Chains A and B, each alone.
Chain A
Amino acid sequence: MATSIPEKSVFVAIGAWNPAIIQPGWLRAEFPQIIPDQKITVHFNAGPASYALVMDLGKFLLDPNGGRLVFVPKVLDEETLLQIQALSKGIYKKLAHTPVSAAGSNFVFRLDSGEDFAIEEILECAGSQKTYAEIGFKKCIRQSVQHSFSFEDYNLNITFLKAESDKTIQLNYDYPSPVDSVVKAADALRENYRHALTLCDKFIRRRS
């Protein structure tokens, strides 16, 4: 059975977030129900000229730097997603004047050794191997195919990635609306996760 990759299955809200506000003390004071009285561990990611503060909130990490609010689950399950949903919406409402351009969630799954893509042929583009061989390119080390679909509130980008023996499926639920994108994306987070699991069932098959 394909395994989820929590550290890549992130919820992101793109906007002019102020990391000087989104700090452990502020989060604890503003969201006591979501972040009970606990020690919030802080990680510092040092950069060339400054550092970025990433907060460990128990079930997930929160990175408010670089114009993105990124929630990184430690374990990908509905309970964690429920907390992320509540906190992301809460931050958005508390900081309602923050210009937000888009929000979305990614769910990434790695295929097990006995599994293949159900539609393996989409990565084996007919003729491409021959064409590359003719111009002297011998070995393709990575293939990536993305299909995008648009729905009323979100775009769904499905990426099949094959690198050597590593195969992953990435499902990106992108809410590009400049209006209420964080709320829509957060409200749909758990439903999108369940949808992603359903799609994985369809896109992955066990080798007989």
Chain B
Amino acid sequence: MTGLEFVLATQLMTADVPSDYSGILNRLENPIEIILSECNGQKQTAAFLSTGESTVDIASALIGSEFSDQVGPGQVGLESHWEQKIFKRLSFPRHWETEGIERPNVAAKTHCLALIKKLFAEYQLIPSNILPSIEEGIGIRYDNSAAWEDRSMLIEVYNDLDIALIVTDNIGKETIYREDVREMNFNHAVEVYQNNRG
């Protein structure tokens, strides 16, 4: 099971769901994540994150019709999580402000979100962290700990919408690739990050 599917299995154990959920889970081709939340202090509802099939259809089938009205398209999802992180929960160190460092502007935030969605859609990459950058913009970190590889990809989207990227080898503690990204083209960088090249 992938990490995300494991989260689904454990969280479902606590939900009041039909027992045939595994059959529904097997239909899903893409990794999904389930978030359980309280609804009116009563039973728990489940929101499903899926890049493939209809979120509402899956939720309705899994939870049952009494919960289906609590779930709607676009309510909860990986994308929603990223939106919240970037547009609402991006904390900015106070001392940076006193040092005259500009906060990330909304153009950089919008660009950052588009970049994250693109990397997820094309390469199934999920960022491990999203933080403001001291260089005035937003930093996005990807960590690849698959098997014996230990590489990170750090992307910065600046307030002037330039994008810079480095890939680091965390075992050898060195930067093994750097690029000023043009036209949102990450092909080569991702190949290096996933150790398919160089």
Contact = CB atoms under 8 A, between A and B. Distances in A.
B107 A155 contact: yes
A175 interface: yes
A179 B87 contact: yes
Interface string B33-77: 000000000000000000000000000000000000000111100
Q: Interface SS of chain A: helix, strand, loop or mixed?
A: loop
A50 interface: no
Interface string A30-47: 000000000000000000
A177 B87 contact: yes
A196 B103 CA distance: 23
Contacts of A155: 105-107
A178 B82 CA distance: 10
B106 A154 contact: yes
A138 interface: no
B187 interface: no
Interface residues of A, number: 14
B106 A153 contact: yes
Interface string A113-128: 0000000000000000
Contacts of B144: none
Interface string A11-35: 0000000000000000000000000
Contacts of A99: 73-74
A154 B105 CA distance: 8
B30 to A, nearest CB: 21
Given A97-B75, A99-B73, A150 B106 contact: yes
Interface string A147-168: 0001111110000000000000
A90 interface: no
Nearest to A148: B107
A180 interface: yes
B88 A150 contact: no
Interface in B103-157: 103-110, 113
A178 B107 contact: no
Contacts of A175: 106
A56 B144 CA distance: 57
A97 B83 contact: no
Contacts of B109: 177
B75 A179 contact: no
Given A178-B87, A179-B87, A180-B88, A97 B106 contact: no
B159 interface: yes
Contacts of B107: 150, 155
B71 to A, nearest CB: 10
Contacts of B91: none
Nearest to B161: A150
Given A97-B72, A99-B73, A99-B74, A179 B106 contact: no
Given A176-B110, A177-B87, A152 B73 contact: no
Interface string A174-192: 0111111000000000000
A179 B83 contact: yes
B159 A150 contact: yes
Nearest to A180: B88
Contacts of A97: 72, 75
B84 interface: yes
Given A97-B72, A153-B106, A178-B113, 11 more contacts: A150-B106, A151-B105, A152-B103, A152-B106, A155-B105, A155-B106, A176-B106, A177-B87, A178-B87, A179-B87, A180-B87
11 contacts: A97-B75, A150-B106, A150-B107, A150-B108, A152-B103, A152-B104, A155-B105, A177-B106, A177-B109, A178-B113, A179-B88
Which 3 interchain pairs have the tightest Cβ spacing? A150-B107, A150-B105, A179-B87
